[in-house]
């Protein structure tokens, strides 16, 4: 007998159900608590993704730049692009990438090339150790992996010039591996999204790696999620003056929800230099060093806060790796 307030769903099993007024009598039926029914319904719908992931992926599909290495799942070509993008802007990399692939279309071609040929193709791109590492790694791939870029993280990390972030990008994009990326762009996005405060440290980096891993584990496509985070950091979530009004995650930012951070994270610029005192100021928070906000820029100049930051921020679009991330 079930009364007025009993919130159960009834599933008859070849029997009659009689309903009398506001009560009902079940003969040979199975009753299922409504909470169990909801769980079953959610299970049929599939896993739920973290808030904002669907919007971020939709933004990426709609707004991503048309770059040559995004037209392929070939791990060799993705690897070349990831190495070139380290400390170098996308605009600079594109013509070098096209020429390099034309000269060395396969890992076998790169492995058999002379060092002077590889360095000549790299000339003008800078950081020539990257070119030497590419050639050395190509020879290892040919000799030990039958000419195929390794699919396991441990084997990829054993290649010269390949760190954890680079390996994660290659394997997630090419093979769908559930591996995170944490370059400078992704670290900045996650720091602002989750209010990861303070200067660079091993603990802060572990926290960011954990957040990146959680997002990748829950996303429908790890490769697209990693590329979306990198694209967002490179084009929207800039070190200085981020374009928060067009950010697909802006409503998820703690600062946008009324909370304030003192470091999200700080950038080397200050109001005294005519720019934002820190990245937090650009999203409505306050500066860790001088306590200024967008409405109190003169106070920052008066305190001489600019002297507390050193050097310019990286140019927008640069793949700036975090410490030990590769």
Active site residues: 82
Distance CA 315, CA 89 (A): 8
- Locate tokens 């029997």: which residue? 15
Evaluate whether 191 touches 265 at the Cβ level (below 8 Å).
Answer: yes
Residue 278: Cβ within 10 Å count: 31
Distance CA 245, CA 258 (A): 16
What end-to-end distance do the CA atoms of the chain give, in Å? 65
3-state secondary structure of 30: strand
Length of the chain: 326
- Locate tokens 């973290």: which residue? 50
Distance CA 56, CA 5 (A): 42
Q: What are phi and psi of 19, to 5 degrees?
A: -115, 120
């Amino acid at each position: 007998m079930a009364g007025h307030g009993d919130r159960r769903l009834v599933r008859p099993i070849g029997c009659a159900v009689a309903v009398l007024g506001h009560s009902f009598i079940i003969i040979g039926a199975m009753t299922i608590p409504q909470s169990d029914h909801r769980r079953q319904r959610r299970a049929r719908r599939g896993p739920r993704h973290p808030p904002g992931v669907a919007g971020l992926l939709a933004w990426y599909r709609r707004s991503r730049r048309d770059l040559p290495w995004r037209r392929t799942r070939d791990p060799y070509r993705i690897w070349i692009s990831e190495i070139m993008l380290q400390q170098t802007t996308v605009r600079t990399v594109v013509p070098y990438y096209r020429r390099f692939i034309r000269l060395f279309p396969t890992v076998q071609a790169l492995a058999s090339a002379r060092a002077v040929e590889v360095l000549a193709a790299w000339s003008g791109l800078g950081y020539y150790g990257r070119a030497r590492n590419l050639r050395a790694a190509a020879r290892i791939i040919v000799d030990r992996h039958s000419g195929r870029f390794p699919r396991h993280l441990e084997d990829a990390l054993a290649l010269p010039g390949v760190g954890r972030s680079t390996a994660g990008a290659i394997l997630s994009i090419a093979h769908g591996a559930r591996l995170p990326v944490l370059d400078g762009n992704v670290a900045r996005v996650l720091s602002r999204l989750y209010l990861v405060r303070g200067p660079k440290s091993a603990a802060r980096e572990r926290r960011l790696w954990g957040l990146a891993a959680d997002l990748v584990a829950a996303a429908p496509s790890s490769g697209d999620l990693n590329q979306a985070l990198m694209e967002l950091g490179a084009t929207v979530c800039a070190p200085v003056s981020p374009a928060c009004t067009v950010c697909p995650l802006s409503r998820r930012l703690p600062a946008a929800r009324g909370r304030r951070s003192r470091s999200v994270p700080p950038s080397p610029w200050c109001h005294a230099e005519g720019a934002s005192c820190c990245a937090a100021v650009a999203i409505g928070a306050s500066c860790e060093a001088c306590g200024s906000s967008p409405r109190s820029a003169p106070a920052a100049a008066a305190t001489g806060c600019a002297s507390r930051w050193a050097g310019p921020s990286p140019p927008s679009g640069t793949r700036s790796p975090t410490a030990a991330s590769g």
